[in-house]
Each structure stands twice: as C-alpha cells, then as structure tokens.
C-alpha cells in the first residue's frame, strides 16, 4: 500500500461509474473538484509529479505540457475521439493513450437522427412558436402551417462509415430511407451504396457527418463542398466542428440553398456569440451532447478507469490508441 501511495494519478473531473473508485487501490488519486472545468494552467500544476492522467476531451494535452511532465507514464481519456491529445508526442515518449471507443456508438447515432428529424420537421421553430404565445386561434392551422421535409423515402448520405456512421445507416433504413455512403477507405456495408464524396453530396437529401477530426478531414466540407450539396438538403454534424466550414454553412442556410442543419459540435466550443449559425431559425443546435446519456457516460468512465488500472498494473490498456508503444 505504501508503494501505491507513492504513485500519483490526476483525474481532471469527477467521473460517474464505479470503476474510478478502484484507482485508489493502486495509487494516490487527486481529483479536480471544480468549480467548473479544469483550467489549462491548473492542469499543468496539478499534473506535476504524476505517473498517470485521466482526462476529458476538454483537456488539451499538447507537446509543451508533456515536455514539462517527465514522470508521466500513461494518459487515459474519457472520450472516443482524441483530437485534444498530441498522440505523436505521446508515442514518441512511449506513453500509451487510452480512449473509450464503441460504447457511445448507438447513443451518438440516436442524437444524430434526432437532429435530422428535428431539422426536417422544424421542431425547434415550432417549439419557440408555441412558447412565445404566437399560436393563436386565428392562425391555429393552415395547409402550409409549419410544413417540413419528408424523411421517409428520402436519401441519406453518410460521410464516414465507422461504427457510428453504420449505426446511423441502420436507423435511416428503418425509416425507409435510401442510404448512400462515403468513407476515406472503401467499406462494403450492406444496404449502403458507396459513392464518391462529390456524388454523395449531389444526390443526398440529408447528409450526416461521422468522421474523426484529423489533418485530412479538417475542413473536408468547405464552401465548395457545401455549394455542391443538393439544393434544399439538410446537413447534420455530430462528429467534430472543424470538419465543416461554419460560415459557409450559415451562408447556404441563410440563402435557402440548404433547407436546414442540425449541429452538435463546433469549431470553437462553447460557441462564440458571434457565430452566424446562432442567428438562423433553420438550425437545430446542441452543446456537444452526442454521448450524453447517463448509462453511456458511466460506461465511458468505467472504460477510462479500466485503461488507467491496466497501466498501473503494468499491463496493456484494453483500449489503446497507440498500441505500438508496447512493442518497444
């Protein structure tokens, strides 16, 4: 036990689930208790002398921070994506990086399809209309009252055919949609017609983005790609904000070139008040809640804790982003 107490691990936020409490059997655990999220300056201070780090996607783990932490031996992130971490810098140091893939697949696909439906049927606009007291007897119904866009029978284009993209395709099929897809490396997915990105954008009534943010995918849907989308289409993004050019998307929505959008992720989070998407009625906005169910977040925390425990036991992490570090 004395040896365990000489090993320090920092956890950047109180976590749900059960397994995080098991960490204290292997090390001295320091948890940031707030208020709010951990400031970057505090992360540097709290991590000093620590062997391990359990972090969130809001914690930036860059080369400068790592260079100042010679004792660090592992990082476990409670996230599927790891674009907040300099993976190359960790790998160069031989430091394993844990993440939490798979567990949030269906939860995030549910969010994406909810945004698709809400955008298509103008649910947010209708909600605001009722709450503002604008639904009165004299305008209670008409043939064109809050008419929206049909989902059943429409074509969904899925950009990124990983686990979440495939889960989105299954939901679309259940709604009677035709599904087409594009992936950076070709994948044969039953019920999904493979197209080039250009062909997908031109053909799809709805486009849903399900890619990791990398150097290759940053800005993938820029002004030219958005202009190439089918007139009156709907764009949904629950992946990462940097993949879509937000000013170009806002311009297409404002002009009527696109019908609507559902957006859960942004290039800058929280969203600055000047973001042009905020002023548009035909955008359904959410604050990065793709995986936000009680069960899924607890399962993510349990996986993050399991990765940390494995590292403390000198074993490979069950879910490691850079397993090549174990071959050294």
What residues are labeled active site?
240, 269, 288
- 251: tokens are 């311009």
| CB-based burial, 250-284: b 16+ in 10 Å, e otherwise | bbbbeeeebbbbbbbbbbeeebeeebebeeeebbb
Label residue 146 left, alpha or beta by phi (over 0 means left) and psi (-120 to 50 means alpha): left
- 211: tokens are 């890619």
Question: DSSP assignment, residue 102?
Answer: S
Beta strands in the chain (DSSP E): 8-11, 28-31, 52-55, 74-77, 97-98, 155-159, 178-182, 193-194, 206-209, 233-237, 258-263, 283-285
The CA distance from 84 to 82, in Å, is 5
Q: Tokens 């260079």 sit at which residue?
A: 67
The CA distance from 319 to 215, in Å, is 23
| Terminal Cα-to-Cα distance of the chain (whole angstroms) | 29
User: In whole angstroms, what separates CA 306 from the centre of its chain?
Assistant: 21
- 78: tokens are 């409670």
Residue from 86, 98, 95 nearest 23 by CA = 98
């Amino acid at each position: 036990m004395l040896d365990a107490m000489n090993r320090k691990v920092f956890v950047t936020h109180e976590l749900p689930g059960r397994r995080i409490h098991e960490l204290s059997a292997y090390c001295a655990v320091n948890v940031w208790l707030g208020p709010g999220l951990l400031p970057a300056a505090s992360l540097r201070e709290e991590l000093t002398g620590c062997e391990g780090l359990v972090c969130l996607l809001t914690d930036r783990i860059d080369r400068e921070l790592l260079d100042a932490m010679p004792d660090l031996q592992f990082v476990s992130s409670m996230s599927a994506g790891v674009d907040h971490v300099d993976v190359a810098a960790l790998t160069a140091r031989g430091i394993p990086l844990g993440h939490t893939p798979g567990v949030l697949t269906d939860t995030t696909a549910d969010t994406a399809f909810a945004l698709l439906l809400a955008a298509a049927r103008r649910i947010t606009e209708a909600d605001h209309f009722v709450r503002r007291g604008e639904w009165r007897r004299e305008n209670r119904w008409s043939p064109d009252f809050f008419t929206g866009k049909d989902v059943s029978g429409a074509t969904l284009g899925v950009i990124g055919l990983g686990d979440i993209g495939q889960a989105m395709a299954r939901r679309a099929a259940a709604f009677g949609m035709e599904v087409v897809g594009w992936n950076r490396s070709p994948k044969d997915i039953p019920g999904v017609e493979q197209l080039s990105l250009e062909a997908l954008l031109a053909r799809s009534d709805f486009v849903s983005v399900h890619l990791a943010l990398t150097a290759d995918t940053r800005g993938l849907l820029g002004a030219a790609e958005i202009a190439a989308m089918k007139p009156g289409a709907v764009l949904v993004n629950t992946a990462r904000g940097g993949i879509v050019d937000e000013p170009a998307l806002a311009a297409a929505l404002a002009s009527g070139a696109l019908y609507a959008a559902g957006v859960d992720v942004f290039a800058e989070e929280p969203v600055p008040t000047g973001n042009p998407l905020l002023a548009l009625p035909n955008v359904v906005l959410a604050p990065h809640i793709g995986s936000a169910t009680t069960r899924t977040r607890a399962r993510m925390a349990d996986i993050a804790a399991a990765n940390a425990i494995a590292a403390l036991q000198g074993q490979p992490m069950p879910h490691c982003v850079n397993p090549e570090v174990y071959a050294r």
